[in-house]
A and B are shown apart, each in its own frame.
Chain A
Amino acid sequence: MRSEDDDAPQQPQAGPAAEVRARTRRPTAGPRTPRPGAQSHPLRHGAESRTPRPGNAPSRRLTAPEASRSNAVHPGAWWLWALGLATAASRTNNPLLLGLLVGVAGYVVAARKTDAPWARSYTAFIKIGLFVVGIRLAFNLVLGSPIPGSHTLFTLPELPLPDWAKGIRVGGRVTAEGMLFALYDGARLATLLICVGAANALANPARLLKSLPGALYEAGVAVVVAMTFAPNMVADVVRLRTARRLRGRPTGGIKAIAQIGLPVLEGALERSVAVAASMDARGYGRTARVPAPVRLTTTVLTLGGLLGVCAGTYGLLASEGAGYGLPVLAGGVLASLAGLRLGGRRQIRTRYRPDRWGVRSWLVAGSGVAVAALMVWAGTYAPETLTLQVVPLTAPALPLWPALSLLAGLLPAFVAPVPPKESQ
Chain B
Amino acid sequence: MIRFENVSVTYDSAEEPTVRDVQLTIPEGELVLLVGPSGVGKSTLLGTVCGLVPHFTGGTLRGRVTVDGRDTRTHKPRELADLVGTVGQDPLAHFVTDTVEDELAYGMESLGLAPAVMRRRVEETLDLLGLAELRDRPIATLSGGQQQRVAIGSVLTPHPKVLVLDEPTSALDPAAAEDVLSVLQRLVHDLGTTVLLAEHRLERVVQYADQVILLPTPGAPPVMGTPEDIMKISPVHPPVVALGHLAGWAPLPLSVRDARRRAGTLRDRLAEHDPRTPTAGTPHGETRTYPPTSTGGAGGNHGRAGGRAPAHRPGAEDRTPPATARRTLATLFRRPPEGLRTPTIATAAALGVRRGRVEALRHVDLTVTPGETIALMGRNGAGKSTLLNTFVGMIEPTSGSVTVGGRTPHRTPPRDLIREVGLVPQEPRDLLYANTVAAECTAADEDAGATPGSCRDLVTALLPGVRDDTHPRDLSEGQRLALALAIVLTGRPPLLLLDEPTRGLDYAAKARLVEVLRALAAEGHAIVLATHDVELAAELAHRVVILAGGEVVADGPTAEVVVSSPAFAPQVAKILAPQHWLTVPQVREALS
Do the beta carbons of A283 and B93 come within 8 Å of each other? no
Q: Give chain A's interface residues, CB within 8 Å of chain B.
A: 32, 34, 38, 40, 68-69, 116-118, 204, 206, 221, 224-225, 228, 231, 239-240, 242-251, 259-260, 262-263, 271, 274-286, 348-353, 424
Do the beta carbons of B418 and A246 come within 8 Å of each other? yes
Cβ of A77 to closest chain B Cβ, rounded Å: 19
Candidates B52, B84, B86, B102; contact of A352 at CB < 8 Å: B102
Knowing A249-B414, A424-B358 are in contact, say whether A206-B77 is a contact too (CB < 8 A): no
A281 to B136, CA, bound (A): 24
Q: Is B154 an interface residue (CB 8 A)?
A: yes
Candidates B55, B158, B430; contact of A283 at CB < 8 Å: B158
Do the beta carbons of A247 and B431 come within 8 Å of each other? yes
A352 to B102, CA, bound (A): 8
Interface-lining segment among B7-15, B106-114, B461-469: B106-114
Given contacts A274-B88, A275-B95, A284-B110, 16 further A-B contacts (CB under 8 A): A34-B133, A68-B136, A206-B98, A251-B414, A260-B433, A274-B93, A275-B93, A277-B77, A280-B77, A282-B78, A283-B82, A285-B78, A286-B79, A348-B111, A350-B118, A352-B101
Q: Is B168 an interface residue (CB 8 A)?
A: no
Knowing A250-B414, A350-B114 are in contact, say whether A286-B491 is a contact too (CB < 8 A): no
Q: Which interface residue of A116, A271, A352, A353 has the most chain B CB atoms within 10 A?
A: A352
Of residues 365 through 406 on chain B, the ones whose CB sits less than 8 Å from some CB of chain A are: 389, 392-394
A282 to B153, CA, bound (A): 12
Size of the chain B interface, CB-CB below 8 angstroms? 76
Candidates B132, B154, B423; contact of A246 at CB < 8 Å: B423
* Cβ–Cβ < 8 Å partners of B393 in chain A: 245
Do the beta carbons of B119 and A352 come within 8 Å of each other? yes
Q: Is B122 an interface residue (CB 8 A)?
A: yes
Do the beta carbons of A281 and B133 come within 8 Å of each other? no
Do the beta carbons of B425 and A248 come within 8 Å of each other? no
A242 to B395, CA, bound (A): 9
* Cβ–Cβ < 8 Å partners of B413 in chain A: 250
* Cβ–Cβ < 8 Å partners of A275 in chain B: 93-96
A263 to B56, CA, bound (A): 23
Cβ of B108 to closest chain A Cβ, rounded Å: 7
**Between-chain CB contacts (< 8 Å), 12 pairs:** A206-B98, A248-B418, A248-B448, A249-B447, A280-B56, A283-B81, A284-B110, A285-B78, A285-B110, A286-B111, A286-B112, A353-B105
Cβ of B34 to closest chain A Cβ, rounded Å: 18
Do the beta carbons of B97 and A224 come within 8 Å of each other? yes
Q: Is B591 an interface residue (CB 8 A)?
A: no
Q: Is B488 an interface residue (CB 8 A)?
A: yes
Of residues 409 through 429 on chain B, the ones whose CB sits less than 8 Å from some CB of chain A are: 413-415, 417-418, 422-423, 425, 429
Cβ of B207 to closest chain A Cβ, rounded Å: 29
Which chain B residue has the least Cβ–Cβ distance from A354?
B115
Do the beta carbons of A348 and B112 come within 8 Å of each other? yes
A282 to B132, CA, bound (A): 22
Q: Is B73 an interface residue (CB 8 A)?
A: no
Q: Give chain B's interface residues, CB within 8 Å of chain A.
A: 50-52, 55-56, 76-82, 84, 86, 88, 90, 93-99, 101-102, 105-115, 118-119, 122-123, 132-133, 135-136, 138, 140-141, 154-155, 158, 357-358, 389, 392-394, 413-415, 417-418, 422-423, 425, 429-433, 443-444, 447-448, 487-488, 491
* Cβ–Cβ < 8 Å partners of B119 in chain A: 352-353
A279 to B82, CA, bound (A): 13
Do the beta carbons of B81 and A281 come within 8 Å of each other? yes
Knowing A40-B123, A263-B433, A282-B154 are in contact, say whether A246-B109 is a contact too (CB < 8 A): no
A351 to B108, CA, bound (A): 9
* Cβ–Cβ < 8 Å partners of B113 in chain A: 350
* Cβ–Cβ < 8 Å partners of B414 in chain A: 244-251
Which chain A residue has the least Cβ–Cβ distance from B358?
A424
* Cβ–Cβ < 8 Å partners of B81 in chain A: 281-283, 286
Do the beta carbons of B98 and A69 come within 8 Å of each other? no
* Cβ–Cβ < 8 Å partners of A262 in chain B: 433
Candidates A249, A285, A424; contact of B141 at CB < 8 Å: A424
Cβ of A34 to closest chain B Cβ, rounded Å: 6
A219 to B20, CA, bound (A): 40
Cβ of B337 to closest chain A Cβ, rounded Å: 34
Q: Total A-B pairs in contact (CB under 8 Å)?
A: 177
Candidates B56, B107, B389, B433; contact of A282 at CB < 8 Å: B107
Do the beta carbons of A228 and B98 come within 8 Å of each other? yes
Knowing A250-B414, A277-B56, A424-B358 are in contact, say whether A349-B447 is a contact too (CB < 8 A): no
Cβ of A268 to closest chain B Cβ, rounded Å: 11
* Cβ–Cβ < 8 Å partners of B78 in chain A: 280-286
Cβ of A188 to closest chain B Cβ, rounded Å: 33
Q: Which interface residue of B81, B105, B389, B415 has the most chain A CB atoms within 10 A?
A: B81
Q: Which interface residue of A68, A279, A424 has the most chain B CB atoms within 10 A?
A: A279
Do the beta carbons of A278 and B98 come within 8 Å of each other? no
A251 to B395, CA, bound (A): 13
Knowing A247-B431, A275-B96 are in contact, say whether A424-B357 is a contact too (CB < 8 A): yes
A262 to B429, CA, bound (A): 12
Do the beta carbons of A225 and B96 come within 8 Å of each other? yes
Knowing A244-B414, A247-B447 are in contact, say whether A280-B112 is a contact too (CB < 8 A): no
Do the beta carbons of A259 and B96 come within 8 Å of each other? no
A333 to B413, CA, bound (A): 63
Knowing A224-B97, A246-B488, A274-B88 are in contact, say whether A206-B102 is a contact too (CB < 8 A): yes
A274 to B358, CA, bound (A): 31
Candidates A40, A244, A278, A349; contact of B96 at CB < 8 Å: A278
A348 to B82, CA, bound (A): 14
Cβ of B392 to closest chain A Cβ, rounded Å: 6
A281 to B55, CA, bound (A): 10
Knowing A69-B136, A352-B115 are in contact, say whether A247-B444 is a contact too (CB < 8 A): yes
* Cβ–Cβ < 8 Å partners of B118 in chain A: 350, 352-353
* Cβ–Cβ < 8 Å partners of B425 in chain A: 243, 246
Do the beta carbons of B431 and A278 come within 8 Å of each other? no
Cβ of A59 to closest chain B Cβ, rounded Å: 27
Do the beta carbons of A38 and B430 come within 8 Å of each other? no
Cβ of A98 to closest chain B Cβ, rounded Å: 31
Cβ of B531 to closest chain A Cβ, rounded Å: 18
A405 to B392, CA, bound (A): 56
Cβ of B101 to closest chain A Cβ, rounded Å: 7
Which chain B residue has the least Cβ–Cβ distance from A205?
B98
Do the beta carbons of B392 and A350 come within 8 Å of each other? no
A279 to B154, CA, bound (A): 11
* Cβ–Cβ < 8 Å partners of A278 in chain B: 86, 88, 93-96
